[in-house]
Structure 1
């Protein structure tokens, strides 16, 4: 490992887990072993969901009312909350991550992480992730009933015969969260196996292995030729959730980021699975309202987590700064 990333790791003290942190990776994996205790939460069928153009949701057609990308569907609804009346009560949101400033430039760190990831290990055949996403429920008259963060754990396994198994489980609430309105942890929300050809993906092919080809791929992937830095971070997080990336593909995504303007280094942090990472951020997608973040490991160069931070003043159901969505991939 190079000297710069070694110093960052030592400064971050990655062995320290703070009181009140969410479950460990082992604990999250054990959630999948719980038996389903109740059916999917009834109010999930009453959601009125509207999806902004820049945050698309892909689902298998077989799950038209809640499927493989059910988690992502929850995330998008918060964009409408500021224009609905009457205003809901202030929603409790996950605690902010502690961030320690680092002096290195984003481009420098990302280039080093690209090199590190390109020679790293394969990711296996399963995508596992913990997600905390803000979900706003609307009444029939369009008013906001309530806003709540819904914790979930997902596992997507790509079998050798082309079939895909998808499992979605209610996860542990964040520390201090009122969980009276949430499904019990371990409740199985979705457990489906899709035959070869039935699993929908954003596009047929995953990302390229060359950084200089990623820009064109992202434009086609997003349907937008002029992505902001924040949009770029979000599109990359969607890719990580939907494709089994090879080291070369993930390295290309990270290498491409090194040349994107308006991406800053927020600092070193410990993510919600207890891992040390370097947080990169952008505020140009919705200036003054939202900050998009991506956390990458200085040990392996792998993308560990992504989150969106609300920093505005127009929403009545949130107290800024507030984490409105978070995805941590078990890698």
Structure 2
């Protein structure tokens, strides 16, 4: 059995993800990408799913924390009872490959009691950056 096509992966993701919010999908995209790094069919399927969701904003061209060109997309997220109950999640996508480069969560409001004091918002509260990687045969070879 060969690798799944983009269309098959998109259909599988949508079926398995029924009931997820757009914010849930942003988190799921980061988890899937961590497991399937540099797989073009997975990257394309994730972009197809994300493009079909409500409340997704294309923020435009930017650079990630590693200085690479990116297109940012975002969605608002509510996390009641959390330290930052109102957030905006960002996915940064390579404009040439469609690969996910980074994720960022920005707190838009804070619960001063939970945090122990005031925090100026907006504030980046989490980010993840995927740098170039590859499997190598030994510890002496660089990817």
Partner of 2:41: 248
CA distance in 2, matches of 1:275, 1:238: 21
For residues 239 and 208 of structure 1, do their structure 2 counterparts lie closer, same or farther at Cα, with a shift above 3 Å needed? farther
Cα 1:208–1:227, aligned 2, differ >3 Å: closer, same or farther?
A: farther
SS at match of 1:260: coil
Instruction: Determine if the alignment matches structure 1 residue 304 to structure 2 residue 105.
Output: no
Could you tell me the TM-score, scaled by structure 1's length? 0.33
Match of 2:137 in 1: none
CA RMSD of aligned residues (A): 2.2
State the number of aligned residues.
Answer: 119
Alignment of 1:78-117 (within 5 A): none
Distance 1:263 1:285 in 2: 14
The aligned residue for residue 327 of structure 1 is 128
Q: Which has the larger radius of gyration?
A: 1
CA contact (8 A) 1:228 1:284 kept: no
Q: Which runs of 5+ in 1 are unaligned?
A: 1-206, 220-224
What residue in structure 2 maps to residue 215 of structure 1? Answer: 14
Q: What is the deviation of 1:215?
A: 1.3
Deviations 1:217-259 (A, max 9, x none): 3x2xxxxx42111111111111112234521121111111111
Describe how 1:1-331 pairs up with structure 2 within 5 A. Answer: 209-210=6-7, 211-217=10-16, 219=17, 225-286=18-79, 289-315=86-112, 316=117, 318-331=119-132
Looking at both structures, which has the greater relative contact order when contacts are Cα pairs under 8 Å and sequence separation is at least 6? 1
Matched residues in 2 for 1:285 and 1:240: separation?
23
Give the gaps of 5 or more residues in structure 2: 133-143
Question: What is the CA–CA distance in structure 1 between the aligned matches of 2:103 and 2:59, rounded to whole Å?
Answer: 13
Deviation (angstroms), 1:286: 3.6
User: How big is each residue's C-alpha offset from its partner over 1:8-52, in whole Å with a ceiling of 9 and x where there is no partner?
Assistant: xxxxxxxxxxxxxxxxxxxxxxxxxxxxxxxxxxxxxxxxxxxxx
Cα offsets for 1:134-186 (capped at 9, x unmatched): xxxxxxxxxxxxxxxxxxxxxxxxxxxxxxxxxxxxxxxxxxxxxxxxxxxxx
2: CA distance, partners of 1:209 / 1:244 = 15
